[in-house]
Amino acid sequence: MILAVAGGKGGVGKTTVAYNLAAALGAVVVDADLGMADLPGGRGPDLHDVLAGRADPTETVRAGSVDVVPCGRTLGGARACDLSALGDAMAAIERERGTVVLDCPAGRRADAGVPLAVADACVLVVSPRAFALADAIRTRELARELDAGLVGCAVNRVTEEPPTDAIADALGAPAAVVPADPRVGRSVAAERPVVDAAPESDAAGAIRELAERVPR
Amino acid sequence: MDLSWTVDRAGDASLVRCRVHNDDAVSRRVRIESRFDAPVLPPRRAGVPEDGWDATGVTLRIGPGERRGFGFAAPSPPVEPPVTVASVEPVDSDEPAREGGGFAGDEDAGPTAADALRELGDHRPPRAAVDGGRGVDGIRTLKRAREADDPRDEDLAVAAPCDSDGGCRDAGSGAGERGRAAPEAVDEWFAAIEARIDRAERLTDADVETATAVVADAGGVDALADLDERVAKDAERLRAVSERAASLAERAAATDVPVGALDRFA
């Protein structure tokens, strides 16, 4: 199972949701944001190396509380990436590790589209504000054209009761509400996913709810 | 099915432009094959061939009365005719036409990463952004007035090698450079790198005797301490230089200075 976590807009929390969702799924999370990597880095080969043909995909998996395939941080590395190699690379990791969660970049360019084309299904992350929804709808269209079935969406960083039903209707998938919780915000940098750090929290509940919708 | 073409020669390659016209009242799928004794270089977007192209030709779906233009290159001298219609088949009318956007995809496999690459905008940061940040490592461009042999060349800049400690050698007098492949300073730089690589090669999987000889040549193990690192750095610089040289050569080859026209203006 290859699951893409996408969202159109930058800064809505795709990386945070991807990381925590991977924790709930026991999956490997891959930082597919080639130009602006967010997941923890580390030494050794990364996704840039894989897409430049310099490294074997499975040797880039870095063990942690959630296993991560980090992405390089240089523009030169991003430029040298051959995205057409992403499908085979993800398939290789999937064969070895089962479920793969792809943290997608923002936008509608090839680097956002190719992970959706490679993925079997996707989760959309939206911010509870109207302007972010428009981008999410465009990304939903892209995912539909590329055959990445939408299994659910995460309304992220919610402070007051959001129009969850309207969002779910607009996107055509059930919406899980992830409340603004500092433990979620810190989870990636601290490498402590919220389902482990605060399993009783509403945020952890929302992440688990999303994880249950992912077919396996 | 009407097919017309023109062939242009560009260096060692032939550029073929074709037009195909479906004069039937129904959609047809037409297979057009190259007659060149060389692989077809199809039109590409983001490095991915356009839909329908393969190494020997293209398969197009053409609506009733529709005209379609297309073209390709082949690394081979022109042949006549350059293309032939290999087959024309009726198109199943239930088959959905892929008009007005959407991803092409294979008939059964659905859209692939290649489709996404072809249809969506390029994701790569522009070359200028990449080179601007890093510079071409170790190479500083410096202006050098050529001696009065050609005043118009005063502004020409050449690359001179810099040592990692920051010192740049002089790029040489410039006299007698013409006709050589590279300016003197560049030759010197290559020679220094070559010497280091030679040494590293001799030490790679070396037996005790060769290793001892190399160490003696170098004047002690200390002199070789950073050899590995320096050779790795050399490799990086060489790649940067070769990339830049190739892109400059490409630009140079694409220029065409209309001297005659300029003379008339003067």
* Alpha-carbon span B174 to A121, nearest angstrom: 63
Alpha carbon distance B46, A159 (integer Å): 42
Residues in chain A within 8 Å Cβ distance of B49: none
Q: Position A130: which residue type? A: A
pLDDT, tens only, B195-240: 888 888 888 888 888 888 888 877 778 778 888 888 999 999 999 9
Give A165: exposed, middle or buried? Use CB within 10 Å, 0-12, 13-18, 19+.
Answer: exposed
Lowest mean pLDDT among A52-66, A84-98, A131-145: A131-145
Q: Per-residue pLDDT for A65 more than 70?
A: yes
**Closest residue on chain A to B48 (Cα):** A84
A102, A4 Cβ separation under 8 angstroms: yes
Closest CB to A75 among B46, B115, B133: B133
| Two tokens, residue B238 | 């060489």
Using alpha carbons, select from B71, B42, B70 the residue that is nearest to residue B55.
B42
| DSSP string computed for B187-212 | HHHHHHHHHHHHHHHHHTT--HHHHH
Question: Does the CA dihedral B131-B132-B138-B139 come out positive or negative?
Answer: positive
Q: Are B158 and B184 in contact (CB under 8 A)?
A: no
Per-residue pLDDT reduced to its tens digit, B144-201: 333 434 444 434 444 444 444 444 444 444 444 444 566 778 888 888 898 888 888 8
Q: Do A178 and A157 meet the contact criterion of CB atoms below 8 Å apart?
A: yes
A–B interface: beta-carbon pairs under 8 A: 71
Residues of A in contact with B111 (CB under 8 A): 117, 145-147
Give the predicted TM-score (pTM) of the model. 0.60
Q: Which residues pair with B3 in a beta bridge?
A: B20
pLDDT tens by residue, B121-150: 888 888 887 775 444 443 433 333 334 344
- Residue contact B123–A86, C-beta within 8 A: no
Q: Which residue of A has its CA nearest to B118?
A: A110
